[in-house]
Amino acid sequence: MTIALFLLVLFATMTVGVPIAFALMLTALALMVQLDFFDAQLLAQNVQAGFDNFPLLAVPFFVLAGELMNAGGLSRRIIELARAFVGHVQGGLGYVAIAAALLLASMSGSAIADTAALATLLLPMMRKQNYPDGHSAGLIGAGGIIAPIIPPSLPMVIYGVTTNTSISKLFMAGIVPGVMMATALVLVWRRIAGANALPVAEKTGWPERRRVLVRSLWALMMPVIIIGGLRFGLFTPTEAAAVAAVYALLVAVFIYRELDLARLYRVLVDASRTTGVVMFLCGAAMAASYMITLADLPNQLADVMGPLLSSPMLFMLVVCVFLLAVGMVMDLTPTILILAPVLAPLAAKAGLDPVYFGFVFIFVGCLGLLTPPVGTVLNVVAGVGRLRMEPVIKGVMPFLAIYFGMLVLLILFPSIVLGPLGLMF
């Protein structure tokens, strides 16, 4: 009864267009009424407690770092570097997009920010060289979702806070799969480039490569500082976010000198808006999570899914199918905030490693960013490139297919995640 009420209120409110944060609060109210435990003050306290959380300070800092990278020239220099070294092969701009996506992912942690930067700078170049719009947009979107996988990752911060899972270990768990994603994109793009006889650009000489490399060194130092500092315990993920924001600001203002006061003001406003949305979602999710705990939903769901808990692989498969269905209609952040507190305890009962389950949860949620009808990343690419959604959806399908193949490997072989993690810790 309680599970049915939770799902009914949540999806009914979202179906009629209620913003997700308010839908979560209404769900918490419904559970309060059902338990005969209505207390408006307690609801407000839990909302406030949801964003009064030290690890969540990483969110505004990483958001700000991403905005500063795009406005201050760091993202552009990373793309120029990739173009100088791999832009001369057949379909070279596609390889530039993949290399740049991997490098940008190690700096911002935001799929939307990275996708917007890649689409803004590369789509016009690809169109000028007669690349198919659908394949170009699909590749950029598929590359953009590497950002939540490679550290630093905003979804991993939110998942870690929501489920009390080590954020540092989640960060480190994403390094090898993130590189695998980039490799998979290279394989698919190579076939597309050959099938479409994409043009070959002029090879950049070594003097120009050295010049571009020197100009990009300050941008390249950012992931070294963040990942190195986390790996060797120099700072926590929250402190790493602050370091990233300050570093991006100093480089943009004093070294690249592309950020004046007017643009800085715009960056701060945009980062504040994004942060406000995410933090309000976290607050509403905390209220719903509190009521989920009081209503004992995880144990009720465990009774329903009891037969699956004896087989970790089967449980993981069912959860992934469920998350894929949810990801088609819901963005990644609310998916984490709504479902992670319910599913993480079940994963523990099934004997799954919490870091492994958390990583796969986020990976599946990232696939939802590429699937219609919501497909947040696809909408960003289509909007920036002024493209119809149909060719973008068609163009992303080959990349999405190989990501699904990678998901199967992650389910069958958890050591892909846990093996490197064991060496790092």
**Which tens digit of pLDDT belongs to each residue from 382-395?**
888 888 889 999 99
pLDDT tens digit sequence for 193-217? 988 888 787 788 889 999 999 999 9
pLDDT at position 374: 72
pTM listed for this prediction: 0.87
Mean pLDDT of 136-151: 94
- With a cut of 80, say whether residue 86 has pLDDT above it: yes
Pairwise CA distance, residues 288 & 223, whole Å: 35
- Rounded Cα distance between 141 and 407, Å, is 18
Q: Tell me the C-alpha distance between 264 and 150, whole Å.
A: 27
- What would the mean pLDDT of 334-359 be, rounded to a whole number? 91
- At 248, list the tokens: 């991006």
Nearest Cα neighbor of 406 from 119, 163, 153, 145 is 145
* Beta partners for residue 90, in sequence order: 200
Locate the domains of the chain by residue range.
53-259+295-424
DSSP structural state of residue 57: G
Neighbours of 352 (CB within 10 A): 21
For 307-344, the pLDDT digits (tens) are 778 888 999 999 999 899 888 878 888 889 888 988 99
Contact 308, 349 (CB under 8 A): no
| Diameter over CA atoms, the chain | 74
d(CA 347, CA 139): 33
Measured over the CA atoms of residue 196, residue 200, residue 201 and residue 203, the dihedral's sign is positive
Mean pLDDT score of the chain: 87
Strand-pairing partners, residue 200, are 90
Percentage of the chain modeled with pLDDT above 90: 36
**How confident is the model at residue 1, as a pLDDT?**
62
Work out the angle between the directed axes of helices 415-424 and 175-195 (0-180°, nearest 10): 130
